[in-house]
Chains A and B, each alone.
Chain A
């Protein structure tokens, strides 16, 4: 066997290893029901759940719980997943800054007994990067 061939084989092996590890480490988007099933089956990997904040009829967010004067590292809220299932989420860090303004919340973590323990929260806000959306247009009309 020529050196080139050995070299090529090694590269292919490393590339295959990379692909397998990517597949293995990749997380998945699920809803809370699936998350619960995964946890019941003993799957401890971190998962992504996409949802919206629960709001009352006046558009006020309900179920937020953050008392920095008691404990700055405890933040709990209620998230509705895409099937409208309600779930308490606990995030053991300060409340993300523009949390109240977010239109969509992605929580990353795992399901515990009665709540979802989030390690990371991604927010989709009507920020400068995503302007021109109709939802914010209405708000703009009032401030023009």
Chain B
């Protein structure tokens, strides 16, 4: 039966959410206007608030309906069919919710509702103007999932997630035969996204995106109400919160990429990554100008510009990744859902309105009477913010290349520009220097901020400088850093550590709550050091120096034989030397859902097209029996793990299990396994495997008739019939008292190794049975066919197949843990700063509330710090 009701309710809720957002926008707008009569303001506001609550309820309704459809596996719906499947575990069912564009818009809408409600509760005095902006944004976002076709002009607005399959693909022939057809299973989730990070990364990132709206709304409200300085106090804690969440979201994505993708790093300069990083950098600059904006008018103006720019850049990022404009430039952008026009209107509306309002009010903004002193804290913080903006401008200028093409195209010019071929070199050229300066300024800025430095007191900087030079000299020598830009970045980061660290020690003795800034800066400095070593000094350990490519022509002899030979081939059970390690690929393993670790594939028989397997033997891990022979167990059918044994020179052995996923829609996907040591990671992935589920293709049978000790050639190996012996046991065959069995002992000589293959010949109940033996290492199957007692000769049937192999690559990433450590320190710093500024805001809010409660008190001027 097709469940049409839940989809219709969902669609209805979307429409309700859209309409209520529009009404709330208007009502909040009315209540915020100075021209509205004072007694009407209250009723408009009450009405606006109720409408926003209706909106919030409608959004929750939409979320509920969509989750109901996905969670109950209603595959008659396109969204469920496309993104989920029966075999998905619950946590990934949740993440299939936001796999497609509609769901991720919904996630964004949801966070905006949550943030809007929090603002209504915590901040009554700014409610009208701030929520006007909020509700308008909600109207635009809701329109993206509206899925309504305007009759007459045939204009499609939005793309609804509640389409039935028969509506989304009406051309399929199956509908003619059976209009109520429901697919038995869905497409499932992209295997790359079946990762715990992908359960929490998108919600975090979208909360980060959503929260950039708050500083933006307060900036707009400040301009609207002409409270040109007061908006900063309520906006600042939210700006810090936003920087924290967006930063964490980006870093989660980076960590996911490191752990799951196999490009060997955490940052790929992909447009999708860049366009979320750019708003973050601008937001950081905005925060710094907001902190000094109450004392310096230039900084105040900049704070307006940057708070607005942050949100506009988030919209621009949305436009870039979802309009299809990136085209060939990115491997992971969404395709065009026909929303590019709508997205462009969304982007342009807010850009033009915000900039227009800023220009309109520009004259009424305060300005500085005298120029800022070079020895003031404002000067240095301002320089830092400027550098952050330049850094983000450089990233944006390059990432926007596909946009230039589109703009030129609309003017009839064909540009055909492409992103730089060597992105890393391109971005490093600028960013290393920008970040060296920025990180130095964090130290200098803190020294000036806490009044320890000044025009006559520059000498306080000497001590940290001396310490820095000493530590850096040691670090450069020990780390063998020779590249000049790396030396600069390292020294700058160490200076930031020393300077911020010494400030931190001082503040902690006073009031630890104020140390958020110093802690955050220390985190960034640690991250830069971690990035410098882990990326700049990545070492390929899997250099292929076997003699295999000798056969090949000049492509290999070119460049001194040094052309990309960074991958090595491993044959099953054949040790290969790699750097200091001796590597052996042992087996293919699979993952049982209720069995710890990985189990050898040969222990089970996988059921095709299902997520179950039958145990072929008792499944015992660490002396515990998880399943008995013949049991059915749940597995992850797409995941295969390649057991690679590393033997260190000391004889110590460890094993890594890089993963290959075989997905019918996406082919083979490889993820690394990482051995983490305190000072470096060993990162290993398979770049090529033979399909583990494919049946081997055996060659036509070849027969050999040989006598004892004879030599023959199979599959280019030398084989010797060593002996034929009587045997009492043949695996899988029960031998009775009158039965007899013999097995041949055949030695097969490989280059460095010798294998023994023992096919059996059985006489059982007077019938002849043959049990062939397969050697996966050699790609051989030998069957004992005949015994000729007259001649004393034996006949064997031999088939050969492709030997099993994998191609793998291994990298060493030094000091990557410093990056993750820095990340944690950064997070702690941001949390401290957010709390501190939120307490400031609450104190001020309650003070104002007391003043308005006491009606006769004289009106206070805006408080300065």
Contact = CB atoms under 8 A, between A and B. Distances in A.
Interface stretch (B222-230, B417-425, B820-828, B856-864): B417-425
Interface-centre pick from A2, A22, A104 (highest chain B CB count, 10 A): A22
B666 A141 contact: no
Nearest to A4: B371
A131 B165 CA distance: 13
Category for how many chain B residues contact A: 35 or more
Contacts of A14: 390
Interface in A1-42: 2-4, 7, 11, 14-15, 18-19, 21-22, 25-30
Interface string B539-574: 000001000110110011000000111111100000
Interface string B177-193: 00001010001011001
A68 B670 CA distance: 16
8 contacts: A18-B390, A18-B393, A29-B417, A71-B549, A100-B667, A125-B667, A128-B190, A133-B335
A72 B426 contact: no
A124 interface: yes
B800 interface: no
Contacts of B807: 68, 72, 94
B794 interface: no
A87 interface: no
Interface of A: 2-4, 7, 11, 14-15, 18-19, 21-22, 25-30, 45-48, 50, 68-74, 90, 92-95, 97-101, 104, 106, 108-109, 119-120, 122-133, 137, 140-141, 144
A46 B421 contact: yes
Contact of A129 (B333, B386, B803): B333
B669 interface: yes
A47 B193 CA distance: 32
B669 A26 contact: no
Contact of A26 (B189, B372, B418, B568): B418
B418 A22 contact: no
Nearest to A18: B394
A73 B556 CA distance: 10
Q: Which 5 A-B pairs have the closest CB atoms?
A: A46-B421, A98-B667, A128-B190, A72-B807, A94-B687
Contacts of B174: 141, 144
Interface in B664-682: 665-670
Contacts of B842: none
Contacts of A19: 397
A45 B421 contact: yes
A121 B55 CA distance: 46
Interface-centre pick from A47, A73, A97, A133 (highest chain B CB count, 10 A): A73
B166 to A, nearest CB: 11
B570 to A, nearest CB: 10
Contact of B665 (A22, A70, A127, A144): A127
B443 to A, nearest CB: 21
A128 B665 contact: yes
B555 A119 contact: no
A69 B569 contact: yes
Nearest to B687: A94
A141 B421 contact: no
B393 to A, nearest CB: 6
A12 to B, nearest CB: 11
A3 to B, nearest CB: 6
Interface in B61-87: 82-83
Interface of B: 82-83, 99-100, 168-169, 171-174, 181, 183, 187, 189-190, 193, 328, 331-335, 371-372, 374, 386, 390, 393-394, 397-398, 401, 416-422, 426, 429-430, 544, 548-549, 551-552, 555-556, 563-569, 665-670, 687-688, 802-803, 805, 807
A71 B332 CA distance: 30
A74 B669 CA distance: 20
A125 B666 contact: yes
A127 B189 CA distance: 11
Contact of A70 (B172, B372, B548): B548
A143 to B, nearest CB: 8
B430 A18 contact: yes
A26 B334 contact: no
Given A3-B371, A27-B420, A97-B669, A141 B172 contact: yes
A137 B668 contact: no
B172 A144 contact: yes
B398 A120 contact: no
B631 to A, nearest CB: 30
A129 B332 contact: yes
A70 B665 CA distance: 29
A127 B666 contact: yes
Nearest to B331: A122
B421 A119 contact: yes
B431 to A, nearest CB: 11
Contacts of A48: 328, 418, 421
A132 B172 contact: no
A28 B567 contact: no
B335 A130 contact: yes
A54 B666 CA distance: 20
A111 to B, nearest CB: 13
A27 B173 contact: no
A93 B567 contact: yes
A132 B82 CA distance: 9
B552 A27 contact: no
B544 A127 contact: no
Contact of B569 (A25, A72, A99): A72
Contact of A73 (B83, B171, B566): B566
Given A11-B386, A30-B416, A131-B82, A74 B552 contact: yes
Interface-centre pick from B563, B687, B802 (highest chain A CB count, 10 A): B687
Contacts of B332: 129
A3 B331 contact: no
B177 to A, nearest CB: 11
Nearest to B566: A73
Contacts of A122: 328, 331
Contacts of A108: 418, 421
